[in-house]
A and B are shown apart, each in its own frame.
Chain A
Amino acid sequence: MHETTTLLVEVGALLFLLGLLGRLSRRIGLSPIPLYLLAGLAFGHGGIVELNASEEFFAVGAEIGVILLLVMLGLEYSASELVGNLRASAPAGLIDVLLNALPGAAFALLLGWGWVSAVVLAGITWISSSGVIAKVLADLGRLGNRETPVVLSVLVIEDLAMAFYLPLVTALLAGVGLAKGGLGLGVAVLTVIAVLVVAVRYGKVISRFMSADDAEALLLGVLGLTLLVAGLAAKLQVSAAVGAFLVGIALSGPVAHHATQLLTPLRDLFAAVFFVFFGLVTDPRDIPPVLLPALLLAVVTMGTKTLTGYLAARRAGIAEPGRWRAGLALVPRGEFSIVIAGLAVAAGSVEPQLAALATAYVLITVVTGPMLARLPDLNWFKQWLRGRARAQRASPAPVAE
């Protein structure tokens, strides 16, 4: 009995605090993710106050949070959008993975952390935060901009790539041998492709089983189906998150629209719990030693991300200022970097410092990213670009486009 009351007090107090932090973040125009992470750090192992009774609650909540993040991501896209985008933006996606995953992997190897950590860190530096970026674009009134589809298609490719990357990481982290890991990945790839094909061809049929009329039945139906598929996927070593993503993809039309509305508050709650939990299990005393490496990694990969967006926008025929806007908008890493790090920490087969590094890395990029995105709107930046353009016109075009 005593345990339960402590749990209520701890969970209640922490959620209340998150509410205040969320409000604060909105006031200063920042994503709430860094504040949630900091709150987790403050109340976890080695933090200011240690929460004990509620750790299990946060652990389960965090698991559900990841699943909800992914199912909502799937609901955002239709299968045909994903497949259509894949053809058009594959080169941009390739530049993205080369420029951003490789520095992460190289960094882990330089630190002597081994191959598994290298694959994990590659994912952390590769995946931008679609949530933070979509919000920044809307806040800055750039949804109509002509470089915005370029930015969005890079995000779509990344999100789709997660469906293949996550099973691979899950298999690697489980420590299964190369043959068995390859088999698991093969199963995952086939499953993902099968679901995409079914969703493109028969998405309407699947959605028809779920009536959009009854909110309660729809909420329970979609949530139940998502958790069920996620659980089954985890049993098959495909990663629960990917199972959830595929459920989101398979649903379409009014069902997807209503399910998005119903699940959004739940996602907000459990995603916050997830970020807190990640902070909780990270010992803040581990952060100062990795702060400098994290800063270095952040500077390098913020540069490569900007270059990715710049090149992708140039391919799409966008002018100089738009290329900078696309590049700088892509900088923030967020929820998925934490999801990947969370998987690694849960498996326990990577360097313990990785969680601290990931936390510091995400904190840096998610705070500076939205600020960097504003750079191209500043007058001195515009003037600098104009100066550059004049200089380029004056000299007889040294490099061919």
Chain B
Amino acid sequence: MRVRVEQTALPGIGVRHDMVTESGRRLGVVSHRNGRRDLVLYDPDDPDACAADIPLTDDEAEALADILGASLMLGQLSGLREQAAGLLTEQVAIPASSPYVNRQLGDTKARTRTGASIVAVLRDGEVNVSPAPSFRFAAGDVVVVVGTRHGLDAVTAIFADGDPDG
């Protein structure tokens, strides 16, 4: 599951991180000590040589990281939707009156009680992917839930007043 990223020191220049993708391509980033960084793609015929060496400014690197990060999140969600017919994804806002404000995710026992899973929490424009049971909710958090229609409604009810059947 985890990708192996190799780190190599380049004395006098900086450091290089590289990895091999599942499709067998090697790519890496050369971080110069003066803050510059290059994206490098290795030659498939000669894995020791870079076929391309693309310098990125700070802004460009940040933009690229955002694109990759965001598309990963969206891809995971839409992938779930396609794989399992009947599964739905929904965003549920936590109202300030919710009994779970300032309580842990584990306390809701949402999955046991409803069969739906909380896959992410959005807070202040940031995405917390796969929150741990110890994740503490705050008013205004938006919970991304995956489950059946019934399960999703039940989760909404839990956050609204704490009782799925009530």
B143 at the interface (CB under 8 A from A): no
Residue in A153, A257, A321 whose CB lies within 8 Å of B11: A153
CB atoms of A76 and B49 under 8 A apart:
no
CB atoms of A144 and B11 under 8 A apart:
no
Chain A interface size, under 10 / 10 to 19 / 20 to 34 / 35 or more: 20 to 34
CB atoms of A143 and B53 under 8 A apart:
yes
Q: How far is the CA of A81 from the CA of B14 in the complex (A)?
A: 11
Given contacts A143-B53, A144-B28, A144-B53, contact A322 B46 (CB under 8 A): yes
CB atoms of B12 and A134 under 8 A apart:
yes
Chain B 17-39, CB-CB to A under 8 Å as 1, else 0, gives 01000000000101001100010
* Chain B min CB distance to A390 (Å): 14
Given contacts A85-B11, A149-B8, contact A257 B33 (CB under 8 A): yes
Chain B interface size, under 10 / 10 to 19 / 20 to 34 / 35 or more: 20 to 34
Residues of B within 8 A of A85 (CB): 11
Q: How far is the CA of A318 from the CA of B48 in the complex (A)?
A: 7
* Chain A min CB distance to B101 (Å): 44
CB atoms of A143 and B11 under 8 A apart:
no
* Chain A min CB distance to B134 (Å): 37
Residue in B13, B38, B47 whose CB lies within 8 Å of A146: B47
* Chain A min CB distance to B49 (Å): 5
* Chain A min CB distance to B4 (Å): 15
Given contacts A143-B30, A143-B38, contact A321 B12 (CB under 8 A): no
> Sorted from nearest, which 8 A-B pairs have the closest CB atoms?
A144-B40, A322-B48, A141-B53, A146-B48, A76-B12, A144-B50, A156-B11, A144-B30
Chain B residues at the A interface, C-beta cutoff of 8 Å: 8-13, 16, 18, 28, 30, 33-34, 38, 40, 42, 46-50, 52-53
Known pairs A144-B38, A145-B50, A325-B48; list 13 more (Cβ under 8 Å).
A77-B11, A81-B9, A82-B11, A134-B13, A142-B49, A144-B18, A144-B30, A145-B49, A146-B48, A319-B47, A321-B48, A321-B49, A322-B48
A-B contact pairs, 26 of them (CB 8 A): A77-B11, A81-B12, A82-B11, A130-B12, A134-B13, A141-B52, A141-B53, A142-B49, A143-B10, A143-B13, A143-B30, A143-B38, A143-B53, A144-B18, A144-B42, A145-B48, A146-B42, A149-B16, A152-B13, A153-B11, A155-B12, A319-B46, A319-B47, A321-B46, A322-B46, A322-B48
